[in-house]
Amino acid sequence: MHKLTPLALAMSLFPSFSQASDAEIDKLKQQLADLQKQIQKLEAKSTQKEEKKSSGIKVGGAVRTNFSHTSYNDGNKNRGGDFDFDIFRVNFSGDIGDVQLNAEVRFFDYMSAIKYAYVGYDFAKDWQVQAGITKVPFGNWPYNSHNYFFNTTYYIGLEDDHDLGVLFKRKLKDNWQLDIGFFKNDELGGVDGYVEDRSDRYSYDIVGYRNTGDGVYDDPTQPLGEYNTFAGRYAYHFKHKGGSTEVGFSGQTGGLHNGIERAGDYHSWAVHVNSHMGPWNFQLQHGEYSYDVDDANVDRMAVGAYAFYDSIAAEAMTSNLNVAYSLPVKWGAVTGLQFYNDFGIIYDKSDNSEDTWMNVTGVSVAAGGFFTYFDFVNAKNQPFVGGSIAGDSDETEQRFNINIGYYF
């Protein structure tokens, strides 16, 4: 089938056109030519807009500062708290052709770290594959918390964890979604990754195990690394009066390597509920994790993040209960408030240390490009609140914290 010229099209539509004079025909030809040029210009503009919309990389980021007043630092209390630089971060996101690119790099005073960096591709109508440093699917998504400090699950590597691997994501359809991932090793290349310090990372991972007599903050003398991890998360969504609820379960299993050979394995599971009822959000999560080291009676593991080492029990149970209330407002630049209380506990520890728990009561404030957390933390044996998850303190510590961020 050949394409009709504008003139032939006009003649086919208007038979009387063949009876017109030469002057009328020339005039109509000119009108059709002008019309065709306008159509071509409009098509070109539309194509350019579409390409501009669907292609290209956007650059954004944030700058955050932090004020803290603590019960566990005498100098901090004497000064009436401390105000410090927190983070400068840069985000990259966009499409090049059919491939999606996403990355986030974080810069602190004491280290720099890549949170995530992956390419994504929609290989089917409801499926996407991501490859690179991508998020490990586990528990309440995207976070098992509302506050600046996350929840207790974050500090054992079970909240907002990112590793090197491949993730297959089924988008929400027919009320359910599925995430299945294979992660070759952690984001720093595993036990023998070419990095200067294995604690310079954003998310917590196992970096070794502890022998009797090792300090909870010591550099690990018996290095280990996670490898060949399979992780999956299933979630079912249903609507009800006033909102919607997600229920689901997660699991992961993988190996531990000492740099020469396989040295053990690890497992974790969790069930979760995330319910929205009008302005309210309720989150529940319960689970268990375990690390087994071959040929060694190990009750305590070494973890690393934020440029320091800490310790956790090799096995423990975890439970979380969070509630939040969102309130849209119009107070000058302030457009939204979210009030929350997040509670988490780690218990039944294999090292027989005291329970770790943290309760954060606070409010987040959205105002234009600014987003601020006001948090009051009560905790026992909790990192960043005067303790360690492997601690044995009976003291409850407090921290009042204000984190101010400008996002661009």
Rounded Cα–Cα distance for residues 252 and 233 (Å) = 9
Could you tell me the two tokens for 151? 């929840």
pTM: 0.86
Q: Give tens-digit pLDDT for 81-132.
A: 999 999 999 999 999 999 999 999 999 999 999 999 999 999 999 999 999 9
Q: Which residue, among 270, 237, 253, has the nearest Cα to 138 in the 3D structure? A: 270
Render pLDDT for 169-192 as a digit per residue (tens, 0 to 9): 999 989 999 999 999 999 999 999
85-328-139-386 Cα dihedral, nearest 10 degrees:
40
- The DSSP secondary structure of 45-66, one letter per residue, reads HHHHHHHHHHSEEEEEEEEEEE
Rounded CA separation 267/271 (Å): 14
- Of 226, 217, 246, 214, the closest CA to residue 157 belongs to 226
Please give the pLDDT value at position 319: 98
Using CA atoms, how far residue 174 sits from 38, 235, 242, 374, in Å, is: 45, 11, 20, 38
Peptide bond into 142 cis (omega under 30): yes
pLDDT in tens, 28-56: 667 667 767 676 766 666 555 554 455 68
The dihedral formed by the CA atoms of 208, 212, 215 and 220, expressed in degrees to the nearest 10: -20
* Predicted confidence (pLDDT) per residue in 194-219, tens digit: 999 999 999 999 999 999 999 999 99
Q: Domains of the chain by range and CATH?
A: 1-54 (no CATH), 60-407 (2.40.160.10)
Residue 179 bridge partners (DSSP): 169, 233
Query: Rounded to the nearest 5°, which phi and psi values hold at 138?
Result: -165, 130
What is the number of other CB atoms lying within 10 angstroms of the CB of residue 255?
16
